[in-house]
Amino acid sequence: MGTIADTKWHGLAETIRPETRLLIDGQFRAAVNGETLASINPATGAVIAEVSCGAASDIDAACEAAVKRFRQGAWSRLALRQRVEILSRFADLIAENCDLLAVLDTLEMGKPIAEMCAIDVPASVLTMRFMAESIDKISGSVPVTNTDALHYILRQPLGVIGCITPWNYPLMMAVWKIAPALAAGNSVVLKPAEDTALSALVLGRLFLEAGGPDGVFNVVPGRGAVAGQALALSMRVDKVAFTGSTGIGRQMYRYAADSNLKAVSAELGGKSPQIVLRDVENLSAVAEKVAGGLFGNQGEVCSAGSRILVDRAIHDEFCDLLVGHAARKYRPGDPLDPTTTMGPLVNKTHHARVQGYIDGARTEGATAILGGGSSKAETSCFVDPCLFTGVKSHMTIAREEVFGPVGAIIPHDGLEDAVRIANSSPYGLAAGIWTSNLGTAHRIARDLECGMVWVNGYMNGDMSQPWGGWKLSGHGRDKCLQALLDSTQSKSVWVTLES
């Protein structure tokens, strides 16, 4: 780890006094039972803030306010251009508060500040703008009917959308959920992850400052098994928009079945392959990008390309290049230092989990060619980037989502074999293909069982890209126009013209 640089970010980190109370019906207030959750900086172990920890009754109050405001119509029936203006202003305010939002997420989860400034904050602003601009661009339809009838299909808001988000992109995941929900005219109750609630509370304040009506956007931090469960079980909630692990994603469907059959969208985990074919022209450049697709955000990325499937003919050369690039670029360091490319993992529990996968890979017979040292879980949340060779498809490291900077390199014997291995995962979030042959790329892209495929790149895209998976990676779609449509429901109106 490098020395702690004296940057503007440290100054800001020392002086901010973040809002820590729940936002319910336009008012910030403590949790009814007075409970708080300590927000801990994983880079230092210091307590950043004590955040109000919502109980089930706080969630009930937020849902009650959300329904009441929805029915009153101050947002749900507001003239569309006014809704566009308020959400555009909301996007402007997110941009104006970029430093505050960046530093809060970096402090709470350890993400490098450079990533916050280059990716999370701009992507959040863009998402809010895109959804604001799209409000009056979607439409219902008028199907052709017999002449004795007029049939039109309206698109209307669902009512209350409960958003439950993870800690790995605290701001961006929250915005991916709330932007389409609010744009479509719904009321929202957001339950951010336990470790990372502070940027969500800033969003709540900024929505009000932008002119959003009270009670339309509520933010209730709390424990998943308490506040999250209460939200997903609430009879007042019409849809749960969830991003998180596959295990808790399954729970969402159970909660829906056990309550009001609310709609569920679920963006879940992954074990995404990056397929390197032997025809790539610049193997070193590919190795550098493959490292980026694996180690960005410390590997705490749902779509991390953590299974690296390399043609056996170039396997050894590729591994050398990959190790070289990874070792040069990804060294854990102070996340507030703008030159840092890798921060700590989010908390000690997660660190121990990731370290368990590393230890387990060695025990199962894989070979660490980078990192892979023994556990430092007692003292630190930092993990060095780690690459394993000799990985067999049945090994835990090849099957389960590690959610850390750990790559499993698996040799393949050409196209068909690569696709077979890629599709052998129960997950189906994303995949990357590295090849010089575009025909091959299109063919593999068609055959891969996942929601997103990148050719000769990884994790690039824009707002037109539907973000979401197949199989155990879930069924929702974030970011794109589909996300806005999925925040509405259809109503068929059949008008009889002649009796």
Binding site for ligand NAD (CB under 6 A): 164-168, 173, 191, 193-194, 224-225, 228-229, 232, 243-245, 248, 251, 267-270, 302, 401, 403, 429, 467, 469, 473-474
Q: Computed from CA positions of residues 255, 261, 265, 266, in that sequence, does the dihedral angle turn out positive or negative? A: positive
Tokens encoding 370: 């980078």
Residue 53 among the catalytic residues? no
Please indicate whether residue 300 is annotated as part of the active site: no
Rounded CA separation 486/465 (Å): 15
What is the dihedral sign for C-alpha 184, 266, 427, 423? negative
Secondary structure tally for the chain: helices H, strands E: 17, 20
Q: Considering the complex, what minimum distance in angstroms separates the CB of residue 220 from ligand NAD?
A: 11
Least Å distance, CB 450 to ligand NAD, is: 11
Q: Which is nearer to ligand NAD, 409 or 472 (CB)?
A: 472
Catalytic residue of the set 19, 64, 267, 401: 267
CB of 99 to ligand NAD, least distance (A): 24
For residue 439, what are the β-bridge partners? Answer: none
β-strands 307-311, 452-455 pairing: unpaired
Q: Which of 53, 63, 302, 450 is catalytic?
A: 302
Q: How far is the CB of 177 from ligand NAD (least distance, A)?
A: 10
Closest CB 133 distance from ligand NAD, rounded Å? 22
- What three-state secondary structure class fits 220? coil
CA dihedral 360, 366, 372, 375 (to 10 degrees): 20
Cβ nearer to ligand NAD, comparing 343 with 469 = 469
Output the six-digit token pair for 340.
Answer: 């840092």
Cβ proximity to ligand NAD: between 76 and 298 the closer is: 298
Sign, CA dihedral 133-136-139-142, equals negative
Q: 12 vs 452, which CB is nearer to ligand NAD?
A: 452
Q: Which helix (H) or strand (E) holds 412?
A: strand 406-412
What the block records as the tokens of 15 is: 């002086």
Q: Which residue has the tokens 């932008």?
A: 210
Closer Cβ to ligand NAD, 241 or 391, answer by number: 241
Yes or no: say if 287 and 318 are a contact pair by the CB < 8 Å rule: yes
Please, what is the minimum distance in Å from the beta carbon of residue 300 to ligand NAD?
7
Record the tokens describing residue 233, joined without a space. Answer: 């079980």
Other CB atoms within 10 Å distance of the CB of residue 57: 13
Nearer to ligand NAD, 220 or 310 (CB): 220
Which residues are catalytic, by number? 267, 302
